Chain A
Amino acid sequence: MATVEVPQEKKAESTIPAPTQSTPKTITLRISRFNPSENAETKFEEFKIPVQKWTTVLEAILYVKQNLDHSIAVRYSCRQASCGSCGMKINGKPRLACYTKISELESNVVTVEPMNNFPIIRDLAVDFKQLFSTHKKMKPFIVNEESEVLPGTKEFVQTPQDLEKFLQFSYCIKCGLCNSACPTMATDKSFVGPQGLAQAYRYTVDNRDQGKKERLKIVDQSHGIWRCHFAGSCSNVCPKGVDPAMAIQLLRGYLLGFRT
């Protein structure tokens, strides 16, 4: 049997330069605490923590959970801006905690709060029921009588140009940042919201889809698409480049008869 030699560390002789060190810095992380089963008051707790220039807000919160207070409620999963779990208000603006570096905030005090316009479950964790049910109402799937795969059926052919029409809208990770930034969402609890409207457009413009009529009917109601005033805040905060404001205005084009 071949023996595997474990290389010994040769500290003195090494010609490889040591990895660049970033001097850790201490910042204050202020975390909004709210536990409806205890009392209905929101209060802030402050933690002094060390951060490097690459430390993300999520890592900072997890540092507090591991070392200082394990009771903080926070939702996360992928840590790479893919699952859409970690949306929260960071220094006043909705952002993904895993996608926001402390260093880019340029402040020694970082305040994290639950996203607005979503009910708070506890601390930083909010309730997505409304977003998910609205998303479902938009029929987020291809509506097509001939989509059944039978012997003899072929796949739908799409050109790269066909794909480009909806591709960016399909990058939505349902993080809810757009709904949290939207000024209509701030006051209208029945508004469909930018996330849902962008998804209605994503499927409507897909040339494999035949559900346009149904979806237009769903968004053309009193708390629907007409409540958008193109304040652009959804697109300002979207971490995936979905640009819901664009999707909404393009969707309106159908309803106003500028396109078919």
Chain B
Amino acid sequence: MTEQFSNREGIKGMINPTRYGLHRVAYWMQRLSGLGLLAYLIGHIYETSTILNGKAAWNNMLSLTETPGGHMVLVLVIGMCVFHTGNGIRLMISEGGKGVGKPGQPEYPYRASSLNSKQRLCIWVSIALAALAMMYGAGVLFGD
């Protein structure tokens, strides 16, 4: 069966965070930040490995990263790190079956208890902590 007939939504649908509430946004941010951190880790290993080529090469690399653009990237990495860790802890607990609500008689309008207010609070706290850490990091990096 061709993809068109199968009508699968594909990557475009998977990454669209706009339709299904905060949990879907958190899902999307966890993926994006996970991949961002992975990219940073690889880049970071490459960057620090230049020290093997001596002091000059190391300083050369540092001068490339110690720029306003480089600092912006680091601020972003701080944000991704904090959000990914905070939300990651929420996911580890929830995906073990804790904090996702208790089954019971559903009542109209059927608000799903796995999408409860504690869950949503955890997501917002992760976002807020990431924003605070980014502001602090920006202060240190761009301050004199």
Which residues from chain A sit less than 8 Å from chain B, CB to CB? 36, 40, 42, 92-93, 114-120, 126, 164-169, 171, 181, 183-187, 189, 205, 228-233, 235-243, 245-247, 249-253, 256, 258-259
CB–CB A189/B94 < 8 A: no
Contact A236-B96, Cβ < 8 Å, known A126-B7, A164-B104: no
Chain A nearest CB from B75 CB (Å) reads 27
- Asked if B69 lies at the interface with its beta carbon under 8 angstroms from chain A, I say no
Listed from nearest, the 3 A-B pairs whose CB atoms lie closest are: A241-B106, A253-B97, A232-B23
CB–CB A249/B106 < 8 A: no
Given A42-B4, A119-B6, 9 further pairs, Cβ under 8 A: A116-B9, A181-B19, A183-B14, A229-B27, A233-B21, A241-B112, A246-B112, A252-B97, A258-B96
Chain B's closest residue to A254 (CB) is: B97
**A and B contact pairs by CB, cutoff 8 A, 12 listed:** A93-B20, A114-B7, A119-B7, A120-B7, A230-B94, A231-B27, A236-B24, A240-B110, A243-B106, A252-B95, A252-B97, A256-B97
CB–CB A245/B115 < 8 A: yes
Chain A nearest CB from B108 CB (Å) reads 8
**Contacting residues, chain B, for A205 (C-beta < 8 A):** 103
Chain B nearest CB from A125 CB (Å) reads 12
CB–CB A230/B95 < 8 A: yes
Chain B's closest residue to A236 (CB) is: B20
**Contacting residues, chain A, for B4 (C-beta < 8 A):** 40, 42
Assembly CA distance A245 to B99 (angstroms): 12
**Contacting residues, chain A, for B114 (C-beta < 8 A):** 230, 232, 235, 243, 245-246, 249
- Asked if B5 lies at the interface with its beta carbon under 8 angstroms from chain A, I say yes
Total number of B residues with any Cβ neighbor in A under 8 Å: 41
Chain A nearest CB from B66 CB (Å) reads 37
CB–CB B110/A238 < 8 A: yes
Interface centre among B11, B30, B114 (most CB of A within 10 A): B114
**Contacting residues, chain A, for B23 (C-beta < 8 A):** 230-233, 236, 245
Assembly CA distance A118 to B9 (angstroms): 9
Assembly CA distance A251 to B114 (angstroms): 13
B8's partner among A36, A116, A238 (CB-CB below 8 A) is A116
Chain A nearest CB from B36 CB (Å) reads 17
**Contacting residues, chain A, for B115 (C-beta < 8 A):** 232, 235-236, 245
**Contacting residues, chain B, for A249 (C-beta < 8 A):** 94-97, 100, 114
CB–CB B103/A186 < 8 A: no
CB–CB A233/B20 < 8 A: yes
- Asked if B52 lies at the interface with its beta carbon under 8 angstroms from chain A, I say no
